[in-house]
Chains A and B, each alone.
Chain A
Amino acid sequence: MALLPFIVSNNYYIKILIVLGINTIIVLGLNLLMGAAGQVSIGHAAFYGIGAYASAIVTTKYGLSPWFGLAAAVVLGGLVAYAIAMPTLRLKGHYLAMATLGFAEIVHVLFLELRDLTGGTDGLYGLPAITVGGFSFETPLKLYMLVLVFVVLSLVLSLNIVHSRVGRALRAVHGSEIAAASSGVDTAKYKIQVFVLSAVLASIGGSFYAHMAGYVSPESFTLGISITLVTMVVVGGMSNVWGAVIGASTLTVLEEYLKAYDDYNMVIFGGILILAMVFMPQGLVGAGAKLVSVFKRRSVILPDAAGENSAAS
């Protein structure tokens, strides 16, 4: 993945790679939320949007550096997520999915209606490129390198979490909330923490997206995007952090191929989501692992079977 931009120096492809990186960051967070902790959000496009708009407003309206934009994205995304999670995650069952769906619709309406702040349907234009000291990440290739650093960081953080005390607590909540609580896990606390973390990663993704595109507008943060993100989590595989990388990569590329059929995006990705849940509940990662184990078993079993045959004859 790191070498790809040198092979294809075409900006079009590099932009796709940036989007792929951004999606990976977001899906890593969603993978922790859904795969590890078993909490479903169908409104993460809202946090993606909040991150993008926070960056856009801070840089275009207040003329601050994009790094403040990124910081604003993290803080605002985190605070909003906390406010949403507090009342909903304390409840058991599927209230979170419902709450995030409604919340994302409200946020979308706010992007449209708070015109003074968000520019309404036109959105906000003229976002500056990210710079460090005198160095500017203005070319797509440079921005890609920066995004890649964040992808690797998010991946390492996710892997660390899953295999730690907190990761086990999250998976325990997924397995049996009552047993997790009786084992000493403050279930509400960890559900809130992982929700906020996933929202912050989505907001970081949004901030990068805004600085790559140079503008933000409401149509980038719709229910369709939320569903695409969930589909990436499921198709990649929820029980493994690497599933996020694989899901985000495959479907970002697929989405690019299907650009011409943009109007049917939600139908296509909704369809893929349903098919994946029915036929590939462990995602591509799980299917791949199964394939590997089948090949391994065959190479072990075949000589055995031959031995049995010769013994029988």
Chain B
Amino acid sequence: MRTVPLLDVVNLTKQFGGLTAVNEVSFRVYRDQVKAIIGPNGAGKTTVFNLLTGVDKPTSGTVLFDNHDIAGKKPHVVTKTGIARTFQNTQLFANMSVLENVMVGRHARMNCGIFRCMLGLPAVRREDAESKEKAHSLLKLVGLEKKADKPADDLPIGERHLLEIARALATEPRLILLDEPAAGLNNEETACLAEIIYKIKGNGITVLLVEHDMSLVMEISDEVVVLNFGAKIAEGPPLLIQQDEQVIQAYLGQAVHDA
């Protein structure tokens, strides 16, 4: 018998006008798993992430995180509960340094409000120093420590995804959602990314991943969910998914053709 899932998604549905982007999707993510969501472009993968993180409100369905219903909660509330994410189209703070980007991720784990910050009290400086140190260690984890003081806008696309991962980790999540983190990475960089994901898992953080790079997905995931036109068409361990007729027809066959 398995334990209570960390994330329990039940009949999640999202309609944009007449378009059903996510259609009655249910799946579970257990602690310490790496789970992948795959599917063709427009299948609704990013929308699922948006629904899980409060960026979009579900039309119907429930999202239980650690047994609490978080569907429709505001993004910053969801983050504080312990879900962090990265964005497929990276959303860095271009007007800030690489290090400061990660420090923003510490926001919910810090306390000093506007009055204390204004006065520059010792507590503010202590908290800041601590958060800077944590941010530095996360930059080290993703291999960006040398670029800490560069403007975030100067990073190439691959490193942008890595910075997003560091920023997400800074929120101290229990579950991290990665939206196509290997996009724009070469083989060597993708291997590094796999290492980073293993390290994240090693730190006791559960991973839910959207990714098109099938060899990466098959290597690191414990389980795979396949979406097509907003609906779940398969779920299971990578080896079985690779042989699933429906999946091959809807997605993998096409992916092989593309490659």
Interface residues of A (CB under 8 A from B): 156-157, 160-161, 164-169, 171-172, 174-176, 178-187, 193, 197, 239
Cβ-closest chain A residue relative to B121 = A160
Choose from A156, A164, A181 the contact partner of B76 (Cβ within 8 Å): A181
Residues of chain A lying within 8 A (CB to CB) of residue B131 = 165
User: Do B117 and A185 touch (CB < 8 A)?
Assistant: no
Tell me whether chain A's interface is mostly helix, strand or loop, or mixed.
helix
B85 at the interface (CB under 8 A from A): yes
B167 CB to nearest A CB, Å: 6
Choose from B79, B80, B96, B171 the contact partner of A168 (Cβ within 8 Å): B96
User: Do B114 and A166 touch (CB < 8 A)?
Assistant: yes
Residues facing A in B104-120 (CB within 8 A) are 104-110, 112-114, 117-120
User: Do A184 and B108 touch (CB < 8 A)?
Assistant: yes
List 24 A-B residue pairs with CB atoms under 8 Å apart, sorted by A's residue number: A156-B120, A160-B118, A160-B124, A161-B114, A161-B117, A164-B120, A164-B124, A165-B112, A165-B124, A166-B117, A168-B100, A169-B104, A172-B104, A172-B107, A176-B91, A176-B92, A178-B75, A179-B93, A181-B76, A182-B76, A183-B105, A184-B76, A184-B80, A184-B107
A115 CB to nearest B CB, Å: 38
A38 CB to nearest B CB, Å: 9
B55 at the interface (CB under 8 A from A): yes
Residues of chain B lying within 8 A (CB to CB) of residue A174 = 93, 95
- What is the CA–CA distance of A174 and B108 in the complex, to the nearest angstrom? 18
User: Do B117 and A171 touch (CB < 8 A)?
Assistant: no
B74 at the interface (CB under 8 A from A): yes
B195 at the interface (CB under 8 A from A): no
- What is the CA–CA distance of A56 and B157 in the complex, to the nearest angstrom? 57
In the complex, given contacts A160-B124, A179-B92, A182-B53, what are 5 additional A-B residue pairs having Cβ atoms less than 8 angstroms apart? A165-B127, A166-B113, A171-B96, A172-B107, A184-B109
User: Do A180 and B74 touch (CB < 8 A)?
Assistant: no
Choose from B87, B100, B103, B113 the contact partner of A179 (Cβ within 8 Å): B87
Interface residues of B (CB under 8 A from A): 53-55, 74-76, 79-80, 84-85, 87, 91-96, 100, 103-110, 112-114, 117-120, 124, 127-128, 131, 167-168, 170-171
Residues of chain B lying within 8 A (CB to CB) of residue A193 = 114
Q: A169-B107, A171-B96, A172-B96 are in contact. Are A182 and B118 (CB under 8 A)?
A: no
Cβ-closest chain A residue relative to B127 = A165
Q: Which of A157, A168, A197 has the most CB of B within 10 A?
A: A168
Choose from A165, A169, A175, A182 the contact partner of B75 (Cβ within 8 Å): A182
Residues of chain B lying within 8 A (CB to CB) of residue A157 = 118-119
Q: Report the 6 A-B pairs with minimum CB-CB distance, sorted nearest first.
A: A184-B108, A175-B93, A164-B117, A179-B91, A181-B75, A160-B120
A289 CB to nearest B CB, Å: 14
Q: A165-B128, A183-B167 are in contact. Are A175 and B94 (CB under 8 A)?
A: yes
A177 CB to nearest B CB, Å: 9
Cβ-closest chain A residue relative to B172 = A184
B234 CB to nearest A CB, Å: 29
A221 CB to nearest B CB, Å: 27
User: Do A182 and B117 touch (CB < 8 A)?
Assistant: no
- What is the CA–CA distance of A39 and B143 in the complex, to the nearest angstrom? 34
Q: A172-B104, A185-B107 are in contact. Are A166 and B75 (CB under 8 A)?
A: no
- What is the CA–CA distance of A178 and B100 in the complex, to the nearest angstrom? 17
User: Do B80 and A176 touch (CB < 8 A)?
Assistant: no
User: Do A182 and B104 touch (CB < 8 A)?
Assistant: no
A83 CB to nearest B CB, Å: 19
Q: A161-B118, A165-B128, A172-B104 are in contact. Are A184 and B79 (CB under 8 A)?
A: yes
Q: A160-B118, A161-B118 are in contact. Are A171 and B93 (CB under 8 A)?
A: yes
Residues of chain B lying within 8 A (CB to CB) of residue A166 = 112-114, 117
- What is the CA–CA distance of A169 and B117 in the complex, to the nearest angstrom? 12
B22 CB to nearest A CB, Å: 18
Residues of chain B lying within 8 A (CB to CB) of residue A184 = 76, 79-80, 105, 107-109, 171
Residues of chain A lying within 8 A (CB to CB) of residue B107 = 165, 168-169, 172, 183-185
Q: Which of B104, B113, B128, B168 has the most CB of A within 10 A?
A: B104
A297 CB to nearest B CB, Å: 17
User: Do A185 and B128 touch (CB < 8 A)?
Assistant: no
Residues of chain B lying within 8 A (CB to CB) of residue A164 = 112, 117, 120, 124, 128
Residues of chain A lying within 8 A (CB to CB) of residue B85 = 182
- What is the CA–CA distance of A239 and B95 in the complex, to the nearest angstrom? 9
User: Do A183 and B117 touch (CB < 8 A)?
Assistant: no
Q: Which of B103, B117, B128, B131 has the most CB of A within 10 A?
A: B117
Choose from A160, A169, A178, A185 the contact partner of B55 (Cβ within 8 Å): A178
A244 CB to nearest B CB, Å: 16
Cβ-closest chain A residue relative to B93 = A175
User: Do A171 and B95 touch (CB < 8 A)?
Assistant: yes
Residues of chain B lying within 8 A (CB to CB) of residue A167 = 117
Residues of chain B lying within 8 A (CB to CB) of residue A165 = 106-107, 110, 112, 117, 124, 127-128, 131
Residues of chain B lying within 8 A (CB to CB) of residue A239 = 95
A91 CB to nearest B CB, Å: 15
- What is the CA–CA distance of A164 and B124 in the complex, to the nearest angstrom? 7
- What is the CA–CA distance of A197 and B110 in the complex, to the nearest angstrom? 21
